[in-house]
Amino acid sequence: MVQKEQMTSPVIGIIGLGIMGGIMAETLLGSGFKVIGFDLEKAACKRLSRAGGEPLKSTQDVVYKADVVITSLATSQALRLVYTQIQEALSKSPKKLILVETSTLPMADKELIAQQLKKPGVSLLDCPISGTAARMKDRAWTIFVSGNKKICQQISPIFKCLSDNAPYVGAYGNGLKMKMIANHGQEKRYYHDIVGCNSRLDSIQAAILNIKLKELDHYIAARRTAADFYNNAFANHPKITTPFVADYCNHVYHQYTLLLEGVDRDGLVNYLAAQKIPSMIYYPVPGHKQKAFESFGVQSFELPITDWLTERVISLPMHTELNEEQLAFITNHVLNYINQ
């Protein structure tokens, strides 16, 4: 890549100055870029101002003043609203503009905004980010850059400012696909649209786990103690089946999963959440009904036991630090709901 292909001194606009957008703005400002931005939250705009950026009053104002606009949005509704406003601004006052969409939202939304913005001089890139704001400080984000390759090269200094890892992955939409592949092939948790993988163990985590591995027997013993408490609390209840343990082995209780009969399982999940007790369904959609496996014809499979279990299982909190007070609080609320 040669220097003349890169945009020099662009004005960067950021729409969505929350956790991710805010840290992007601060990082870019720290590297000498001029940054403007907009967010509905006044506190986010004040944060941008304190960092040396210029908060503006609307999405349209950002569009009119920026050469490159980065969007970092939390919901599909916000994405559609913002890009409708961008479209209206460009229709009123056409200009050359590069749009960098960094949110992790459904492909249908990304395709919709791409259709909206088919305008001369307007380039839309799909560049979702893998990583948290804390990881940004270590330059450990992965930015999956996709869209027109020449445009991606033009603004490569922006990507290099934000991360040491910003691979170009091809046509618009491939960014989201690559992030999905790296996250079990899912856009929404436990809903797998494509076959993916997961490989997130970095060297620091591995070093910590090597130390913790020496204490593994103690951790498993603590989980068994918690499971014993649950088992005793739910013993012989006609609507609850606790995890089965064969006589010839022991259970490590990676999860503690109950099987319910005659109970509004989803109602219990909501009730526990209201008491600030987490619970999980492993898994809300069984494997043979996942979109990722449609090409194998698995949706025609009849797996009645799997389907039956999917509607009845619930997993309760399980970790090594649970104490008796916490366990009693959890079991009492489970029983209060089921016995009502």
Helix residue ranges per DSSP H, 155-310: 156-162, 174-181, 203-212, 216-234, 265-274, 304-310
Distance CA 261, CA 223 (A): 25
Whole-number pLDDT of residue 5: 61
Which residues in the chain land under pLDDT 70? 1-7, 133-136, 200
| Residues 201-248 pLDDT 10s | 778 889 999 999 999 999 999 999 999 999 999 999 999 999 999 999
| Residues 71-113 pLDDT 10s | 999 999 999 999 999 999 999 999 999 999 999 999 999 999 9
Phi, psi of 313 (to 5 degrees): -90, 150
Whole-number pLDDT of residue 3: 43
Inter-residue contact 13 to 34 (CB < 8 Å): no
In Å, what is the CA distance from 279 to each residue of 30, 75, 316?
42, 24, 5
The correct CATH number of 210-339 out of 3.30.70.1350, 1.10.10.10, 3.40.50.300, 3.90.1150.10 is 3.90.1150.10
Length of the chain: 340
Strand partners, 101: 71, 126
Whole-number pLDDT of residue 4: 44
Domain segments of the chain as ranges = 3-192, 210-339
| DSSP string for residues in 196-232 | -------HHHHHHHHHHGGGHHHHHHHHHHHHHHHHH
In CATH, the number for domain 3-192 is 3.40.50.720
